[in-house]
Amino acid sequence: MFTHLSFSFPFFSYTLKIMVTIIILLVIFYSIITITTMSRIHPCYLESYIETLNIRDCLNTPMEIETTRCRGQCYSEDFLIYDWQSEPTHYRHKYHIHCCSPNITIPREISIICDNKQQRIIKYPFVTRCECKLCTDSCDG
């Protein structure tokens, strides 16, 4: 009984070394993929930009204002769940979708003089903070 065990031990040791090497290589490969993917993902952030406004019945030429918006990517997932009531298959998709959205906005306004010399107040929301929020749009389709 012991001779059989000692005979198969070197084979087991060799197989174990190969398995450990494969696992280490897979972990390294996974780490490289994760790092490269994460470096391309831009988290949700606040961005300043120039918005062009075309104000009908006031200005003949567009005007530009500096304002802010939310930009970036948030975590979302789509997975199958078992649903015994679902036809013709018993699996359906379940979504957890998050959008980069304004968390805090403050009202802003600018006063402009129209081409006809009338004053007009333009009101708009100015974003001061962004966050990843659960999206309200349905993805069924």
pLDDT at residue 101, rounded to an integer: 93
Decide if 20 contacts 49 (C-beta within 8 A).
no
Retrieve residue 106's tokens.
């403050």
pLDDT at residue 139, rounded to an integer: 44
Q: Tell me which fold the domain 43-141 belongs to.
A: Cystine Knot Cytokines, subunit B (2.10.90)
Look-up: residue for tokens 């993805």? 139
How far CA 93 is from CA of 4, 5, 58, 141, in Å, comes to: 53, 50, 50, 11
pLDDT at residue 108, rounded to an integer: 95
Q: Domain residues of the chain, as ranges?
A: 1-40, 43-141
pLDDT digits (tens, 9 = 90+) for 19-72: 778 888 777 776 666 555 444 557 999 999 999 999 888 989 999 999 999 999
Question: pTM of this prediction?
Answer: 0.56
The mean pLDDT value of the chain amounts to 79
Please state, as a whole number, how many other Cβ atoms lie within 10 Å of the Cβ of residue 126. Answer: 16
**C-alpha to C-alpha distance for 25 and 12, rounded to whole angstroms:** 20
